Chains A and B, each alone.
Chain A
Amino acid sequence: MDKNYERDLKQWVDEKLATLALAETWQLDTERALARFKERRSRKEKKLAIWRWITVPALAIGLCLVALPQPRLSVLRFCQQLACRNVNSPLVSANVKTLIDGQAAPDFHLKDAWGRDVQISSFQGKVVLLNFWATWCGGCREEIPAFIEFQDKYRNRGFTAIGIAMDTEGWTKVKPYLKTSKMNYPVVLGNDDLAKQYGLGSMPMTYLIDRSGKIAATYVGLVDRGNCENVISRLLEK
Chain B
Amino acid sequence: MDANSQVVDAAVSEESPFDFESTFRAHYGRIARIITKLVRDPARGEDLATETFLKLWRHPKAQGESAPGWLYRVAVWKSLDELRRQKRREYYEGLLSLTRMDPTPEEIRRTGEVQERVRAILAVIASRQAELLVLRSHGFSYEELALSLGLNPASIGTLLGRAQQTFRKEYIKRYGQEL
Contacts and interface: CB of A to CB of B under 8 A. Distances in A.
Contacts of B42: 22-23, 26
B119 interface: yes
B25 A34 contact: yes
A193 interface: no
Interface in B31-63: 32-33, 36-38, 42, 46, 49-50, 53-54, 57-58
A42 B118 contact: no
A39 B3 CA distance: 11
B166 to A, nearest CB: 10
Interface residues on chain A, size class: 20 to 34
Given A9-B165, A13-B133, A20-B37, A41 B29 contact: no
A1 B161 contact: yes
B59 to A, nearest CB: 13
Q: Which label, helix, strand, loop or mixed, suits the secondary structure of the A interface?
A: helix
Contacts, number: 88
Contacts of A9: 161, 164-165, 168
Nearest to B172: A12
A222 B53 CA distance: 55
Contact of A17 (B9, B33, B36, B133): B133
Interface string A9-32: 110111011111111001010100
A30 B38 contact: no
A12 B4 CA distance: 50
Given A16-B117, A19-B115, A38-B5, 6 more contacts: A20-B37, A22-B37, A28-B46, A37-B50, A39-B5, A44-B54
B179 interface: no
B33 A13 contact: no
Interface in A91-141: none
B72 interface: no
B58 to A, nearest CB: 8
Contacts of A14: 137
B5 A18 contact: no
A36 interface: yes
A110 B166 CA distance: 83
Contact of A22 (B33, B50, B137): B33
B140 interface: no
Nearest to A16: B118
A38 B137 CA distance: 30
B8 to A, nearest CB: 5
